[in-house]
Amino acid sequence: MITPRQMDVLREIDIYIETFGYSPAYIDIMKPLGIGSKSNVRRMIAALSEKGFINWIPYRMRAIEITYKGRRVLGHNVTVLRQPVTGYWFRFDDKSKKLKATNLTVLMAR
């Protein structure tokens, strides 16, 4: 079960990743939603991670990624595949109808 506020945070993460191509920082989530502190954002991200809606590496900047479960809750019709040898995530983009690859090492290094 996802709370309405957690859904707002998940939507904001999705919009940010679609717009900029990389994960948001806490402040990038905090400002548009009017959340008062970074610790509240961290708490909500931790809860989303525990529930399986996002993958998140604590203490690493911009290391948030929406999982298949999270994309389904957001209403996206996507298939996520993992190729463990190369470290790339592949997803089917609904808008362009193409398979897109994201390099996780580059995403997590930012």
- The domain in which residue 84 lies consists of 4-109
The CATH number that applies at residue 15 is 1.10.10.10
- CA torsion sign, 55 to 2 to 14 to 16? negative
Classified as helix, coil or strand, 62 is: coil
- State the pLDDT confidence band at 107, using cuts at 50, 70 and 90: very low
- State the pLDDT confidence band at 62, using cuts at 50, 70 and 90: confident
- State the pLDDT confidence band at 109, using cuts at 50, 70 and 90: very low
Residue type (1 letter), 21: G
The stretch 55-62 carries a mean pLDDT of: 83
Number of independent structural domains in the chain: 1
Q: Does the reported pTM lie above 0.85?
A: no
d(CA 8, CA 25): 15
Average pLDDT, the chain: 79
Q: Where are the beta strands (DSSP E) in the chain?
A: 54-56, 64-66, 80-83, 88-93, 98-103
